[in-house]
Amino acid sequence: MEMKLGIVGLDSSHVSAFTHLLNDPQDPFHLEGARVAWAYPGVPSMDFDFSYNRLDGYTRELRDEFGVEMLDSEEAVAEMADAIFLEQVDSRKRVEQFSKIVTFGKPIFVDKAFALNTADAAQMIGLAQRYKTPLMSCSALRYCQGMNVAMADDSSGSILGADFFGPMPIQPTQNQFFWYGVHTADMLLRAMGRGCESVRVTHTEHHDQMTALWKDGRIGTIRGVRGGANCFGGVIHREKGSQYLNSENDEIPYYASLLAVILSMFQTGTQPDSNEELMEVMRFLEAANQSLKDGRAVRL
């Protein structure tokens, strides 16, 4: 039976990508079994151009091209839908909006960034646990094709370390690394697993270098780039060799790879990542922000 999904917040480019993949059978990466049926556009953030410049356009696209019915509140979407995408691009609104939909107990995917600090993240996870709501939140890069292939191939032994790179623009309203740092942080922490102990940031005008130490002595790094190539990738170092990946080499778009994982969670109610893993990503980004201010290593 086809699931009918709802979206809260229509000011993110991700709402267009997900709806195309689900509602357009002609899309070469179309995913069956669900479609977007309802949406609440939300209220744009007037101090954030990515919000106020895009909401009207994506609302028209979903309504006029895909027949998505527009509703007048977050709760109306949560009541109608089998599962919900929380997509409002301004993560300052996360706790308020999440609190309105989590009480329905339906699976929720919260797009990046899950929150802009660990206190809000912990509050939202607590609500999900209270209402027994399946919850998922991550960057699309966490489940891009290159990462999936590399993580599935352990023929070269266990992972000894990893180095990732990607664009690192800063949005003034979105708390430094929480805006784009989540992409490479998700890649690094998926590869390395839990147990990151500390992170230290070296900052210049065009780069941020994050060096992270794990409790077992392994080291992982992130190079955030401003003004360089607009792609993501990295190297995973194993006992007998290293695996290189680059998002530009993936045959499957990373939104399609991510959406396949989201749909599985929506259909089964089983989270692909634990709440503890999600919180570790949040703590990593918060520690990196603190290190950015004073240059010292900060414990998670």
User: In this predicted structure, what is the pLDDT of residue 285?
Assistant: 98
Phi, psi dihedrals of residue 166, rounded to the nearest 5°:
175, 165
Q: Please write the tens of the pLDDT for every residue from 190-226.
A: 999 999 999 999 999 999 999 999 999 999 999 999 9
Tens digit of each residue's pLDDT (9 = 90 or more) over 53-74 = 999 999 999 999 999 999 999 9
Distance, CA of 18 to CA of 86 (rounded, Å): 12
How sure is the predictor about 230, in pLDDT bands with cuts at 50, 70 and 90? confident
| pLDDT computed for residue 92 by the predictor | 98
User: What pLDDT score does 229 carry?
Assistant: 76
Provide mean pLDDT across the span 183-190: 98
36 burial level (CB within 10 Å; 0-12, 13-18, 19+)? buried
pLDDT in tens, 79-108: 999 999 999 999 999 999 999 999 999 999
Q: Return the pLDDT at 219.
A: 98
Q: Please report, for residues 160, 213, 225, 292, the alpha-carbon distance to residue 204 in angstroms, rounded to integers and kept in the order given.
A: 28, 21, 10, 10
Distance between CA atoms of residues 252 and 31, nearest Å: 12
CA distance 282 to 284: 5
Q: Which strand (E) or helix (H) includes residue 200?
A: strand 196-203
Q: Looking at residue 187, what is its pLDDT?
A: 98
> How many whole angstroms from its chain centre is CA 72?
26
Identify the pLDDT of residue 235.
98
Q: What confidence tens digit (pLDDT) does each residue in 279-300 have? A: 999 999 999 999 999 999 999 9
Burial class (CB in 10 A: 0-12, 13-18, 19+), 174: buried
To the question of pTM greater than 0.95 for the whole model, the response is: yes
| Distance from C-alpha of 135 to C-alpha of 106, rounded to nearest angstrom | 9
Q: What is the mean pLDDT of the chain?
A: 97
Euclidean distance between CA atoms 109 and 85, whole angstroms: 5
* Two tokens, residue 56: 């009207």
End-to-end CA distance of the chain: 43
